[in-house]
Structure 1
Amino acid sequence: MAVILVAGLAGCATTPRLGGDGNLQVFSGASLPAPKEGDNALASKPYNLGPFDLLVIDVFGMPELSNREVRVDETGMISFPLAGAIKVSGKPARDVEWQLVEALRANHVRNPKVTVQVKEAKSQAFTIEGEVKQPGIYPFSGRVSLLQAMALSKGVTEFAKLDDVVIFRTVGGQKYAALYNLKAIRHGQQPDPEIYANDLVMVGDSSGRKLFKDLVTVTPLLTVPIIILDKLIP
């Protein structure tokens, strides 16, 4: 005797529920507005250091003080030999170079030449969540498209709904969201949208496919066969 489990799979397809916030403007297949000055999300403006950024500091002519990786702590401070603790949060790397020069001079280092480079910009980042293989917070540097963001997260999972990818963004205090179809973007049918710092990328899932996987997993434990109506899986 076969047991047929449909389990309401026809209604399992998830769709983004974007209308719950009255301050949220929703786009469908359209480009989101780019961040404005003051949104702290523009890649083109000078980058100000922030907590958890990773810096590489070099003092010319002093190997023991060169190629040093220094992490900005949660309070926006760094500690460097012969310079002590320095507040760097909210300042561009060039200003921090001058701070280090002055601190080293005060500790009898003659004519120090210092360079500061940002290796990881953790304080300006975007977030990828949902059905991707490696969700998390990713440092923002340069230009990043949606497909590049998917590559950074090691691609989508087997349960991902390619037509249920939402980018959330705040511009000038207004919340925005737009729905994208990864398959259409890959085939050139839709433009590949640009990602900005502070964006949230959410990849939706197919609940039906998850249920199908779970049922297949438990089948060996049952004494009767299970027939799944696969055509109802979204």
Structure 2
Amino acid sequence: MRKISIAFLMAVALTGCAKRTPLESSARLTVVQDSQALPPPNRNDLTAADRPALIGPLDTIEVTVFSVPDLNREMQVDSSGRIAMPLAGTIDARGKTAEELALAIEAALRARYVRNPEVTVNIKSSVSQVVTIDGQVVEPGLYPVTNQMTLMRVIASAKGLSEFARQDDVVILRTVDNRRMAGLYNVAAIREGAYDDPLVFANDVIVVGDSPQRRLFRDFVSVSPLLAAPLIAILQ
């Protein structure tokens, strides 16, 4: 009976191991394997000419008020996307362009009886230079791109792989010379030094795959830990 239970558990656990359709090159996508180098983006790839630069939380901006020089200052947008200035008070900067924020500051100053305020706003530094990580990591989201950012560092920023992550199914999506490209990576192989930790650039999208067999095994353990115990021993 014990052998039957073990065989049954092994068969069910391995049903999730079937290979999924691999990501392949197409007219819209070029796929490179992890042993090859995903080329870096060029300057044009890192900018979006059709998209205005929007101010967001933790961006650093420079505000110049020509009629009131004492109000000129460099400041950081707070984590909620707001700034605070003398006379103008608290203003929501999140999602505004520099020009839109300048107009909002002018309106706030005008309401405080500052005559004909002329304001300019410059974005000094922006955390909009970000990489997106999605899928099976602990904290998916947007993360700032720092100098020499790599795949493993981005995963670490996202608090590491989740319980159901598939280490051999990690994809980096990137635009190079206006062409969409995908690099396929194996995190376990990188950790073992099989090849270098690949560089990551602004606007990259990283997707960590899901491991169905891990989910099935977790479900069996939660439903019947006594039946799962022999399988744990075998897998170890």
| TM-score bracket for this pair, using the shorter chain length | 0.5 to 0.7
2:39 maps to what in 1?
33
Q: Which amino acid aligns with 1:129?
A: D
Are the equivalent residues in 2 in contact too, given 1:18–1:24 (CA < 8 A)?
Answer: no
Q: Distance in 1 between matches of 2:22 and 2:233?
A: 25
For residues 166-224 of structure 1, the C-alpha deviation after alignment (integer angstroms, 9 at most, x for no partner) is 1111212212111112122223221111111111111112211110001111116xxx8
Q: Which runs of 5+ in 2 are unaligned?
A: 78-82, 84-91, 109-113
Do residues 17 (structure 1) and 22 (structure 2) align? yes
Do residues 56 (structure 1) and 57 (structure 2) align? no
**Residue-pair matches, total:** 202
Q: Name the SS of the counterpart of 1:5 in structure 2.
A: helix
2:195 maps to what in 1?
190
Do residues 73 (structure 1) and 79 (structure 2) align? no
2:185 maps to what in 1?
180
Q: Which amino acid aligns with 1:148?
A: R
Q: 1:55 to 1:106 in 2, by over 3 A?
A: farther
Taking structure 2 as the reference length, what is the TM-score of the superposition?
0.67
Q: Which runs of 5+ in 1 are unaligned?
A: 43-47, 86-103
Q: Distance in 1 between matches of 2:144 and 2:164?
A: 26
Q: Distance in 2 between matches of 1:165 and 1:205?
A: 9
* Structure in which a larger fraction of residues adopt strand: 1
Do residues 209 (structure 1) and 224 (structure 2) align? no
Equivalent of 2:163, from 158, 162, 166? Answer: 158
Alignment of 1:42-191 (within 5 A): 49-52=53-56, 54-57=58-61, 62=70, 67=75, 69=77, 70=83, 72-76=93-97, 77-79=100-102, 83-84=106-107, 107=117, 117-118=124-125, 120-122=126-128, 124-191=129-196
Taking structure 1 as the reference length, what is the TM-score of the superposition?
0.67
Per the TM alignment, residue 25 of structure 1 is displaced from its structure 2 partner at its CA by: 1.2
Q: 1:172 to 1:18 in 2, by over 3 A?
A: same
Q: Name the SS of the counterpart of 1:202 in structure 2.
A: strand
Q: Distance in 1 between matches of 2:166 and 2:118?
A: 61
Q: Percent identity?
A: 33
Per the TM alignment, residue 128 of structure 1 is displaced from its structure 2 partner at its CA by: 0.5
Do residues 5 (structure 1) and 9 (structure 2) align? yes
Q: 1:105 to 1:188 in 2, by over 3 A?
A: farther
Higher alpha-carbon deviation: 180-189 or 74-83: 74-83
Q: Which amino acid aligns with 1:158?
A: E
**Higher RCO (C-alpha 8 Å, min separation 6):** 1
Q: Say what the alpha-carbon RMSD is for the aligned residues.
A: 3.8
For residues 52-82 of structure 1, the C-alpha deviation after alignment (integer angstroms, 9 at most, x for no partner) is 3543346798489664524643352325886
Q: 1:16 to 1:194 in 2, by over 3 A?
A: farther
Q: Name the SS of the counterpart of 1:214 in structure 2.
A: helix
Q: Which amino acid aligns with 1:73?
A: R
Q: Name the SS of the counterpart of 1:10 in structure 2.
A: helix
Are the equivalent residues in 1 in contact too, given 2:173–2:182 (CA < 8 A)?
Answer: yes
